[in-house]
């Protein structure tokens, strides 16, 4: 009898242990399933993003929708869905998706940027400008938004310039497109958000006489430094955030300019026909005719300079040929 009681006691002592082991096993299976689902989800969206980069938007959309069926509110999935839909010629669907996302996730500059690109495709440059300013308000170092905002400012300036010269003529400008983003990064923390955008919004308010004089003086000084082949003085007329053309970095552009300034035996630069158009508070679009002469080249071109005021000084933010 004593032996049987001991056996029953050992069996009862093992029961809780068996239940505990079974509990751990079940929990382990559940955790593995969650991890597998999360991994599959990330992998699916990574694949979709890769397909978008390859221009295979329909396949990408299929991949994204399989993820969204499991998690309809997935932020990255919805962002990529909008990107694919826009590329497939469905801008209104993409616009609604991004607008819904912004109400929930206002700190992603990529969402503002892509919504701006959709607005530009619809001819709404003011709407695009507002979205890009919001992108820079959430992340003041977001270079894509700077590049796109400069494109929008140029277009707005060209429209204003044409309207002032030929108000009764229809303006025929080449199609404008903005760079869109496929990768969604983590949002900037609230404490890191810039209080104001470095590039102020366009405004039709007139320039003061003092500002017009300062801008004209700056442009003439820029031409003189160029003619004198003083590279550092010449580069000092450019904004710290100057955006070079042809996709060059600011560092590479400055290096090339230094070489090009010293190679010719002489340079003569003259500027006339200066037209200053206010684009915003502290931002102007300036059209000039530039006469360049050296022992290697003699040329006259029409240029557009986007110039902004920083630290009480007017500097060139972007330049492009008009001809």
Query: What is the token pair recorded at 131?
Result: 């979205």
280 and 202 Cβ atoms separated by less than 8 Å: yes
Domain that holds residue 238: 209-321
- The pLDDT value recorded for residue 196 is 33
Q: Does residue 133 sit within a domain? A: yes
- The pLDDT value recorded for residue 187 is 56
Q: Does residue 187 sit within a domain? A: yes
Cα–Cα distance measured from residue 304 to residue 287, given in angstroms and rounded to the nearest whole number: 5
- The pLDDT value recorded for residue 56 is 93
Q: Does residue 12 sit within a domain? A: no
Q: Tokens 């991004």, residue?
A: 98
Do 57 and 179 have their domain in common?
yes
- The pLDDT value recorded for residue 317 is 86
Domain with residue 183: its CATH number is 1.25.40.10
Query: What is the token pair recorded at 258?
Result: 């230094």
- The pLDDT value recorded for residue 170 is 54
For the chain, residues with pLDDT lower than 50 are 1-38, 188-204
Query: What is the token pair recorded at 281?
Result: 């508070």
3-state SS track over the chain: CHHHHHHHHHHHHHHHHHHHHHHHHHHHHHHHHHHHHHHHHHHHHHHHHHHHHCCCHHHHHHHHHHHHHHCCCCHHHHHHHHHHHHHCCCHHHHHHHHHHHHHHCCCCHHHHHHHHHHHHHCCCHHHHHHHHHHHHHHCCCCHHHHHHHHHHHHHHHHHHHHHHHCCCCCCCCCCCCCCCCCCCCCCCCHHHCCCCCCCCCECCCCCCHHHHHHHHHHHHHHHHHHHCCCHHHHHCCECCCCCCCCCCCHHHHHHHHHHHHHCCCCEEEEEEEEEEEEEECCEEEEEEEEEEEECCCEEEEEEEEEEEEECCEEEEEEEEECC
Q: Does residue 250 sit within a domain? A: yes
Do 146 and 235 have their domain in common?
no
Of 192, 223, 256, which one is at a domain's C-terminal end?
192
- The pLDDT value recorded for residue 242 is 83
Do 182 and 278 have their domain in common?
no
Of 192, 226, 260, which one is at a domain's C-terminal end?
192
Counting every residue, how long is the chain?
A: 323
The structural domain count of the chain equals 2
100 and 92 Cβ atoms separated by less than 8 Å: no
Do 174 and 230 have their domain in common?
no
- The pLDDT value recorded for residue 190 is 35
107 and 190 Cβ atoms separated by less than 8 Å: yes
Calculate helix-pair angle for 109-121, 143-165, nearest 10 degrees.
30
Query: What is the token pair recorded at 275?
Result: 């037209």
Of 159, 192, 225, which one is at a domain's C-terminal end?
192
Do 60 and 168 have their domain in common?
yes
319 and 303 Cβ atoms separated by less than 8 Å: yes
């Amino acid at each position: 009898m004593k032996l049987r009681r001991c056996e029953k006691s050992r069996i009862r002592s093992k029961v809780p242990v068996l239940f505990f082991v079974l509990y751990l096993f079940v929990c382990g299976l559940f955790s593995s399933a969650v991890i597998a689902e999360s991994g599959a989800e990330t992998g699916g969206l990574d694949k979709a993003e890769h397909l978008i980069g390859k221009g295979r938007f329909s396949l990408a959309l299929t991949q994204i929708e399989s993820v969204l069926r499991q998690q309809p509110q997935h932020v990255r999935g919805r962002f990529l869905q909008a990107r694919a839909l826009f590329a497939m010629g469905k801008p209104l669907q993409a616009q609604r998706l991004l607008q819904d996302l912004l109400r929930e996730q206002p700190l992603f500059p990529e969402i503002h940027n892509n919504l701006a690109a959709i607005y530009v495709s619809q001819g709404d440059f003011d709407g695009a400008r507002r979205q890009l300013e919001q992108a820079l308000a959430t992340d003041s170092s977001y270079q894509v938004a700077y590049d796109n905002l400069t494109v929008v400012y140029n277009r707005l300036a060209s429209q204003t310039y044409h309207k002032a010269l030929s108000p009764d003529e229809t303006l025929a400008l080449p199609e404008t497109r903005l760079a869109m983003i496929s990768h969604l990064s983590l949002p900037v923390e609230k404490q890191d958000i810039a209080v104001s955008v470095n590039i102020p919004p366009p405004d039709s308010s007139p320039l003061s006489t003092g500002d017009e004089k300062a801008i004209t003086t700056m442009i003439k000084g820029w031409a003189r430094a160029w003619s004198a082949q003083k590279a550092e003085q010449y580069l000092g007329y450019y904004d710290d955030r100057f955006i070079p053309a042809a996709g060059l970095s600011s560092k590479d552009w400055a290096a090339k300019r230094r070489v090009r300034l010293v190679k010719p035996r002489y340079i003569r630069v003259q500027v006339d026909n200066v037209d200053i158009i206010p684009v915003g508070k502290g931002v102007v679009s300036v059209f000039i005719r530039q006469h360049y002469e050296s022992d290697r080249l003699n040329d006259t071109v029409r240029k557009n300079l986007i110039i902004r005021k920083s630290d009480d000084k007017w500097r060139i933010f972007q330049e492009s040929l008009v001809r």
